[in-house]
Structure 1
Amino acid sequence: MSIGSTFRLIHAGWVLAREGALSILPVESLPPMMKFGIGLGRLVERRSVRKTGSIERLNAALHKLGPSFVKFGQTLATRPDIVGVQAAADLSGLQDRMPPFDPKLVPGILDEALGSRAAQLTEISEPVAAASIAQVHKARLRQPGEAPKIVAVKMLRPGVSERFHADTQALYAGARLAETFSRASRRLRPTEVVRTLDHSMRLELDLRLEAAAISEMAENIKDDKGFRIPDVQWDHVAQNVLTTTWVEGIPIRDHAAIDAAGIDRKALAAKVLQSFLRHAIRDGFFHADMHPGNLFADPKTGDVIAVDFGIMGRIGTFERRFLADILYGFITRDYRLVAQRHFDIGYVPSEQSVDDFTLAIRSIGEPLHGRKATEISMAKVLGQLFAITDLFQMRTRPELVLLQKSMVLVEGVARHLDPELDIWTIAEPVVGDWLRREEGPLGRVEDLVGHVTRMGDALGRVPDLVAQAQLALAEHRALMNRPRDGLLRNAILAALGMALVALAAIAVLALRLAFAA
């Protein structure tokens, strides 16, 4: 842990406490030790924050601290049910209204990134959106033999990579301090969580990867309705420049404009939530930064239009099944299923009681069932979750951090559009259809194909293993050069033969089980 990163962490804590960041936390729902720590931190709070409760200076503070802190503020801005309506409104300015970088730098950035093709981008506008990492300009693309088209040109902020690196080093320092001085925090694996976030940030700093993410998602959703994304202009993509088709839409936070266009906000909220669940559960590949600044409503069709694919989430089949079962368990009030899946994926240690954990899950699920979003205090729910994770020594799964963060964002956006949102009713068609398909004949066949493929891969590696064993045997014979070498060789070959027989037996058994299912 470097002195510089530790100092940066202390400085960040001081600035956030000074500007009132601790005042927006749901203190009444937190454990006693966290309440005590927040109370100490608030001693340095500005008088204006204590007097008025307004934290209008926090936006500027987060921006100065760096892009990682801005991302955290964007998440809080979508959750007025947690941080309060006024705090969420104050933080909403982080979503796409950051100060742009010097426009004089734009031509040089484009020339260096795109070479001669930069000249094909004309009529470049002032920034239409400026975020913590990049800013977007509207332009006209003129390519030989094609009609001119309006495009969006995204450019990374100069020096943003260095700022990200400084941010993550401070976060690593904080995680290591927590693990050193708080035994309870170790089960949450803070260093692994930061490493996961660090990886996603590094991917976000290469716009060629964002272009590839748009391309992959476009293939996944080509037959879907209600959700649209722009098209990549591959000839005008570089590490720090991304060009896509321009999309016209109403910012999803502009409720007055959405209502004026005659768009049903309840239907729009359902499309936001269902699209996210469909991408996560069906495809295992989802937009992991769906804050309101990245979402628009099509005034003609009422579809959701998403932009900014710098942070994408990916989960495997096992995690997708976990998410679907958890949601379906809450929908159907099958709390035993919810509890068991937490054990299966390793969230809850095996020595804990499934029955006791089922009761804990029921204590959360029952008060939420059938209630409107306005009747649910997420601050209290989060406080209860804190207590349960501590009681059952629950461990963090770092690979699911982006999914959890994204669900908080998406649910917050949907709640804002539809205050009477019933998440379970909206989620059921997506979750139920996917589970019914997985349990049906087609899902069984796909499982069988997957088992056979993995088995074939394993069998295909056997010759290499045999060759490696024979090579090791030859080296051993050369070294030992004793009469007992023949005995050793026979023993090794016999062991290999037994391994092959066992592998074949496992293959046959797996095929029988698959067909029986």
Structure 2
Amino acid sequence: MGILSAIPQLIRTGATFERAGALALVLESLGASPLLRGTVRALVWPLRWAGRRGDPALPPLARALTAMGPAFIKFGQILSTRPDVVGTRLAAQLRLLQDRLPPFPQEAARAVIARELGLPVEALFSEFSEPVAAASLAQVHRARLRATGEPVAVKVLRPGIERAFRRDIDGMRLIARLLDLIPASRRLRPLDVVDHFEGVVRGELDLRLEAAAASEFAANTAGDAGFRVPAVRWPETGRRVMTLDWVDGIPAGDPEAIRAAGHDLPALAERVLQLFLRHALRDGYFHADMHQGNLKIAADGAIVAYDFGIMGRIDDYTRRVYAEILWGFIRRDYRRVAEVHFEAGYVPADRSVEAFAQALRAVGEPIFGMDASRISMGRLLTHLFEVTERFGMQTRTELILLQRTMVVVEGVARSLDPHVDIWRAAAPVVEDYIRASLGPQAVARDLWRAARVLARLSPHLPQIARDALTPERSAHGGRRTSRLAPLLWMGLGGAIALLGVAAGAGL
């Protein structure tokens, strides 16, 4: 879609935002001057009639995005994970955004399944229900496998969603280019935000990738007591269709029903926090959309997760840094928390470690030892972002999704037990990870991994040595020792020492 063809989308978007009362809010959050805000609204106001009405019961921004359709709803949901971009005020409003779209007809779902899997629904399933849940990109049906009689959940993409997504992305990109003309909004990198959104949703538009995420997550968490992930049914899964085992249970957002079923709510609250931290720290792979709507409590008390469209991944080094930061807060060692930030390069080296530690103390002390009912995560995040901005800390994109999910999981735990002590619940998980990843055994394991890499390179070492030690010809025809020779000797010496340490450790 070119710029001209995207203009109607731009007009409809602006009109909808103005009609919902969200345009002024967005312009203000972008840092637009009063003159610019007034000019834009004066231009858009006469076109309000072209905007969609939306649900008046929703806050303005959520109302506007919901009215614009599936891609905009998903855009808002993803932006809710980026308070560093939209600010904590808008992020809080976006977290209220739900998939409020009507389901599409069952016959359309049947047609998608037949086209995708190559067989009619009747050949695959002995039962196939009306939609039991409808979201922005897909909907779910309960079915029963014809071959085995087992109940399954069948997720089907909305017909035409790929085409609608491409159209909406073109409109969003045009809006982002216009926003980039506002100096104050450039810090938000609007084009980068749209590119990030496009990459996330393109993954969600291929249900084979979500099925692979569910499979990996299930393998990682197979040994976690009190936690389950539905198994993927690969023969009944394709690009536009995904089939998982059916999950029976009470929605995590219904604590009264959970209590009535005889489950221990405080224990569940503590477990959901610990599970999230264990997955993030131990595996580096976690459910990044772990809200009440994606969790159920099974009859045996197990927490069952589903909907794996948004997953988070962090590398081993970042996990260690994050664990040290958490552990420092748990022990109230703010000096060490500050040092970890500097060691990881998160804070510019020209800033004061002592001043940063003092600022972190102002964040941590008011909430240490307090139960969740007395903590405002909104105010806490606002304070934290103020601190990081004041000390020139760059946004760590690899941590944003982790931090946002931590807030969501804390909200789930609080809904189950308003008095849950977040720090007490987190302490044993973080301590176990610290012991396993930063202690002597972890050092020996790292050395062994390095030694194995060197062992794989050993057949090439003679040639590398010859190349490095062969004298180079100077510009005047003379001979001189290769500049790589000292580095080679240092590397070989280090390799020998490393292999010796690994062998001494019995690895």
TM-score (normalizing by structure 2): 0.80
Q: Does 1:142 align with 2:146?
A: yes
Tell whether the 8 Å contact from 1:122 to 1:140 is kept in structure 2 after alignment: yes
Name the residue aligned to 2:269. 269
Deviation at 1:162, TM superposition (A): 3.4
**1:70-111 superposed Cα distances (whole Å, 9 cap, x missing partner):** 246558999xxx779x9799x46x15x531122221221111
Q: Does 1:111 align with 2:114?
A: yes
Mapping of residues 436-515 of structure 1, within 5 Å: 436-456=435-455, 487=477, 494-508=482-496
Q: Which amino acid aligns with 1:120?
A: L
**Pair 178,22 (structure 1): closer, same or farther in 2 beyond 3 Å:** closer
**1:263-294 superposed Cα distances (whole Å, 9 cap, x missing partner):** 22222222221111111100001111112221
Q: Does 1:122 align with 2:126?
A: yes
Name the residue aligned to 1:224. 224
**1:19-58 superposed Cα distances (whole Å, 9 cap, x missing partner):** 2558999x9xx99x59979997999999xxxxxx953676
Name the residue aligned to 2:260. 260
**1:360-384 superposed Cα distances (whole Å, 9 cap, x missing partner):** 1111111111112221222322332
**Pair 57,386 (structure 1): closer, same or farther in 2 beyond 3 Å:** closer
Q: Match of 1:308, SS?
A: coil
- Tell me which of 128, 133, 137 is aligned to 1:133: 137
The worse-fitting range, judged by mean Cα deviation, of 379-388 and 158-167 is 158-167
Name the residue aligned to 2:158. 157
Tell whether the 8 Å contact from 1:18 to 1:42 is kept in structure 2 after alignment: no
Q: Does 1:307 align with 2:278?
A: no
Q: Match of 2:446, SS?
A: helix
Tell whether the 8 Å contact from 2:143 to 2:153 is kept in structure 1 after alignment: yes
The worse-fitting range, judged by mean Cα deviation, of 263-272 and 129-138 is 263-272
**1:124-163 superposed Cα distances (whole Å, 9 cap, x missing partner):** 10111111111110011122xxx31111111111222334
Mapping of residues 312-331 of structure 1, within 5 Å: 312-331=311-330
Q: Match of 1:293, SS?
A: helix
Q: Does 1:209 align with 2:209?
A: yes
Q: Match of 1:420, SS?
A: coil
**Pair 358,327 (structure 1): closer, same or farther in 2 beyond 3 Å:** same
Tell whether the 8 Å contact from 2:113 to 2:241 is kept in structure 1 after alignment: yes
Tell whether the 8 Å contact from 1:280 to 1:320 is kept in structure 2 after alignment: yes
Tell whether the 8 Å contact from 1:66 to 1:167 is kept in structure 2 after alignment: no
**Which 5+ residue runs of structure 1 have no aligned equivalent?**
47-52, 474-482
Q: Larger relative contact order (C-alpha < 8 A, sep ≥ 6)?
A: 1
Higher helix share: 1
Q: Match of 1:153, SS?
A: strand
Mapping of residues 342-421 of structure 1, within 5 Å: 342-421=341-420
Q: Match of 1:126, SS?
A: strand
Name the residue aligned to 1:19. 20
Q: Which amino acid aligns with 1:422?
A: D
* Whole-angstrom CA distance in 2 between matches of 1:194 and 1:76: 10
Name the count of aligned residue pairs.
Answer: 482
**Pair 12,310 (structure 1): closer, same or farther in 2 beyond 3 Å:** same
Deviation at 1:236, TM superposition (A): 0.9
Q: Which amino acid aligns with 2:145?
A: L
TM-score (normalizing by structure 1): 0.79
Mapping of residues 79-94 of structure 1, within 5 Å: 91=96, 94=98
* Identical amino acids, percent of aligned pairs: 44
- Tell me which of 96, 100, 111 is aligned to 2:103: 100
**Pair 55,234 (structure 1): closer, same or farther in 2 beyond 3 Å:** closer
**Pair 201,184 (structure 1): closer, same or farther in 2 beyond 3 Å:** closer
**Which 5+ residue runs of structure 2 have no aligned equivalent?**
49-55, 82-87
The worse-fitting range, judged by mean Cα deviation, of 243-252 and 340-349 is 340-349
**Pair 175,410 (structure 1): closer, same or farther in 2 beyond 3 Å:** farther
Q: What is the RMSD computed on CA atoms of the aligned residues?
A: 4.1
**1:368-405 superposed Cα distances (whole Å, 9 cap, x missing partner):** 11112221222322332232232112211223332233
Tell whether the 8 Å contact from 1:278 to 1:430 is kept in structure 2 after alignment: yes
* Whole-angstrom CA distance in 2 between matches of 1:173 and 1:505: 57
Q: Which amino acid aligns with 1:155?
A: V
* Whole-angstrom CA distance in 2 between matches of 1:24 and 1:260: 42
Tell whether the 8 Å contact from 2:61 to 2:93 is kept in structure 1 after alignment: no
**Pair 324,247 (structure 1): closer, same or farther in 2 beyond 3 Å:** same
**1:460-489 superposed Cα distances (whole Å, 9 cap, x missing partner):** 77688789999xx9xxxxxxxxx989958x
Q: Match of 1:406, SS?
A: helix
Deviation at 1:120, TM superposition (A): 1.5
Q: Match of 2:433, SS?
A: helix
Deviation at 1:408, TM superposition (A): 2.5
Deviation at 1:178, TM superposition (A): 6.0
* Whole-angstrom CA distance in 1 between matches of 2:36 and 2:365: 30
Q: Which amino acid aligns with 1:134?
A: A
Tell whether the 8 Å contact from 1:325 to 1:341 is kept in structure 2 after alignment: yes
Deviation at 1:498, TM superposition (A): 4.4
* Whole-angstrom CA distance in 2 between matches of 1:223 and 1:217: 11
Deviation at 1:229, TM superposition (A): 0.8
Tell whether the 8 Å contact from 2:75 to 2:197 is kept in structure 1 after alignment: no
